[in-house]
Structure 1
């Protein structure tokens, strides 16, 4: 989606000099004939995940609502907590755990870092093609994979192996010629049956990928209890911000939040000053 389409969906009451944001009602100055720089800067600074929400609204033909976006202070705090997690894991041995979840025909992967100290939630990403393809492989239905699913599962392909050459002898050839049509048909049927029974998938054994763990079950229960029915209208980026803050709340401090807000305000003031200089 280009800038013009995003602006058309996320701004209202356009004039020759300004537009009002449909999400927060802030009026943003932007000359009609000078592009969309100020408007896009406002979206990037104040509405995290606006691209995903805009594409979803354009696809469904609906109007963006406030619940689709994370509050700016929450987004700033998310950045602080994310940095603390990186510092905490630096030099620490940890294992990444990827676990899938399906709800209302929506598929996603939750990513956790497991250390001696415990489990840290790191990300919540939509991964429908890999998730559906993996389920088909585990159920023995890899021959029903769609193109996107095959592409997502490339990492699980077996390495190609040289097939041994079979050399037939003259005696076996002569013997096969003497077989009757009924015997040949019977042999073909038995060969197909053996091939079907010993068919080997071209993908690695995916049974090592564990079923949904207790930690992940609790995580998605927390998602439902925290977001409720509004979760249906929230983009995956917004949901990730909210859940990372909730599940890593021990890393959220007053000092960290205050510094993030102050830094964010300073950055916005700098952007506004640069925009005013460009307009002069």
Structure 2
């Protein structure tokens, strides 16, 4: 079995290189062939030279690889060493914390999953041709994603909380115009998020009920709120407890067209996707991921 490790050397403040070395050692001990690259190969090269691909980096690294492997059946493994690591959380992959020992354990788990050969398929979303795994952000949360991208401190997922803190002094509301499975919906809102998975922003469970196996998108919108109200509710976002708040509405659909005059456009997996309007569709079973040995099939079909 041939494994291609795609490494973002800047991820994890340089920790991605160490993670790649640990993964390479663990994979070779199990008799697997390994090649390491720091560039994302073209689709044809991937399919011709690898039986599985591993992203060693953060959500951005995974996002760029999704554009190559989605719909191909080529398994995509994750060794998360980024800022938010929300795609890993979405897929149930352990995010290593606690130093070199934790990273070594994560590398061993990844190697065991790939050597075991079992896979599952999960849904992806597609925004005007751009694949994503987590949540499409617009409005306030897109502004936070853009701000976090240019910050260097604090490290890790705390960066998103710091970016939010820098935005709460001004909370503009936008006029949104949505088409939800063809039905028009217009409202004034602070943000609208389109979730394939439940998590973004370093652990914020904005679309807490999203399921990667149901073939549907969760569209979460937040009505205009005061600064005080937002700060009071914000801690509940990490538990998904905000969904019971009266300012929050969630609908499920297969396709949504989203438009608003927001300066930040749409962001997904922590990456800019493009200006609004955007049309987002759920694509069932578009991504194949390795399944840890002994784990239940879970979200989707189990194969050998």
Q: What TM-score comes out, normalization by structure 2 length? A: 0.23
Identify the structure with the greater helix proportion: 1
Larger Rg: 1
* Bigger proportion of residues as strand: 2
Relative to the length of structure 1, the TM-score reads 0.25
